[in-house]
A = this chain, B = another copy of it.
Amino acid sequence: MEFDLIELIRQRTAQPRDDVRLGIGDDAAVLAVPAGQELVVAIDTLVDGVHFPRATAAVDIGWKALAVNLSDLAAMGASPAWALLALTLPSADSAFVEGFVEGFSLLARPQRLALVGGDTTRGPLTVSVAVHGFVPPGRALTRAGARVGDAVLVTGTLGDAAAGLHALQQPVRNDEGRAGLREFLIGRLNRPTPRLAAGIALRDQASACVDVSDGLLADLGHICAASGVGAEIEAALLPRSSALLDLHDDATALQFALGGGDDYELCFSVPASRLGQVQADLSRLGCGVTRIGRIVEGEGVRVRGHGGAWIDTAQPGWEHFR
């Protein structure tokens, strides 16, 4: 099946770039990294029924498979250039591939990202995408570098994707007033927006950065571990969408925002001296940004509740969403 599907994918993803010397159709692609740029590469896999519900539309799978990878580039401050696609399908289902490629291209085209190679194989539905981007030498954002006293910020809102998954798992109630809210949350789950422009704006500004794929506690925990610091978060400051707050009580919405994964927002630390500049820069890009806490001595992430007491995030129930 491989050849026909690859030809279909090639036709539908055509994206001219001068730096692609040889694209889809040979044993490998040949690419020219611009002089004076470092290459940033990541790979992420989505498995049917694990990373997306089994009923997810092909167009959403195609979008998300690229989005989760572009989010990794965003977290590094890299600008995207090329992707490789490894698509494993139970059968040579060209309708699925058409939908998948449509979703993939919806996201790829405005970024001028070229699909330069791939492999289609038969097996349980699994999608791996490898993405390649550029960053000026030495200027990639990393998880290390957060310093005591830095502010901790996030883009957008947190917990929407977990609430979207929850919505998919509940029977639909005949409640038209809330259908739009459910759709918004499910859209956040299925079509996450990689924060590429924000990541580029954060070069030379953020001291550490990560994307929120496993949940804020887990991912900010990665910054803490890599930087040798701790972090304190204020529950009252966590940015939560009105859809999330309308459909869930405060405790559930807080759990989704702290422990829910799949939001693909950026979480980053910024020295106090640059805080105003960063907030202004991201706002200018139309990217919401919220200060949620600060970097402290020690290790791990602590969360202060609305009443001022620390929340025990190690208790059962928190683990569930990670």
List A residues at the B interface (Cβ < 8 Å): 21-22, 25-33, 35, 38-51, 71-73, 75-76, 78, 82, 84-86, 88, 116-119, 121-124, 126, 128, 130, 132-133, 135, 137-138, 140, 142-144, 209-211, 226
When distances are taken between beta carbons in the complex, the residues of chain B under 8 Å from A75 are 27-28
* Closest Cβ neighbor of A40 among chain B residues: B28
- The docked-state distance in angstroms from the alpha carbon of A235 to that of B51 is 49
- The docked-state distance in angstroms from the alpha carbon of A261 to that of B75 is 41
A76 touches which one: B26, B116, B126, B130 (CB < 8 A)?
B26
Q: Write 30 A-B pairs (CB below 8 A) sorted by A numbering.
A: A21-B38, A21-B138, A22-B142, A27-B76, A27-B143, A27-B210, A27-B211, A28-B40, A28-B42, A29-B40, A29-B42, A30-B76, A30-B140, A31-B39, A33-B33, A41-B116, A41-B130, A42-B117, A43-B118, A44-B86, A45-B123, A47-B88, A48-B123, A50-B121, A50-B122, A84-B130, A86-B86, A123-B124, A124-B126, A126-B126
- The docked-state distance in angstroms from the alpha carbon of A75 to that of B30 is 12
* Closest Cβ neighbor of A218 among chain B residues: B3
When distances are taken between beta carbons in the complex, the residues of chain B under 8 Å from A32 are 38-39, 137
A278 to chain B, nearest CB (A): 19
When distances are taken between beta carbons in the complex, the residues of chain B under 8 Å from A33 are 33, 39
Q: Which of A32, A41, A47, A138 has the most CB of B within 10 A?
A: A41
When A and B form their complex, which 6 residue pairs have the shortest distance between CB atoms, in order from nearest? A47-B123, A28-B42, A124-B124, A27-B75, A128-B128, A43-B84
When distances are taken between beta carbons in the complex, the residues of chain B under 8 Å from A47 are 88, 121-124
A297 to chain B, nearest CB (A): 23
Do A72 and B27 touch (CB < 8 A)?
yes
When distances are taken between beta carbons in the complex, the residues of chain B under 8 Å from A88 are 45, 47, 126
Q: What is the copy number of this chain in the assembly?
A: 2
Do A38 and B31 touch (CB < 8 A)?
yes
A22-B142, A26-B226 given; name 7 further pairs at CB < 8 Å: A27-B211, A28-B72, A41-B132, A43-B86, A43-B118, A50-B122, A123-B124
- The docked-state distance in angstroms from the alpha carbon of A142 to that of B209 is 40
* Closest Cβ neighbor of A121 among chain B residues: B45
When distances are taken between beta carbons in the complex, the residues of chain B under 8 Å from A82 are 41
When distances are taken between beta carbons in the complex, the residues of chain B under 8 Å from A142 are 22, 26
Do A135 and B30 touch (CB < 8 A)?
yes
A49 to chain B, nearest CB (A): 8
A192 to chain B, nearest CB (A): 15
Do A28 and B73 touch (CB < 8 A)?
yes
Q: Which of A26, A38, A117, A118 has the most CB of B within 10 A?
A: A26
When distances are taken between beta carbons in the complex, the residues of chain B under 8 Å from A42 are 27-29, 84, 117
A262 to chain B, nearest CB (A): 13
A47-B88, A86-B128, A88-B47 known; A143+B41 contact, CB < 8 A: no
- The docked-state distance in angstroms from the alpha carbon of A123 to that of B50 is 7
A119 touches which one: B45, B121, B138 (CB < 8 A)?
B45
A268 to chain B, nearest CB (A): 11
- The docked-state distance in angstroms from the alpha carbon of A88 to that of B210 is 23
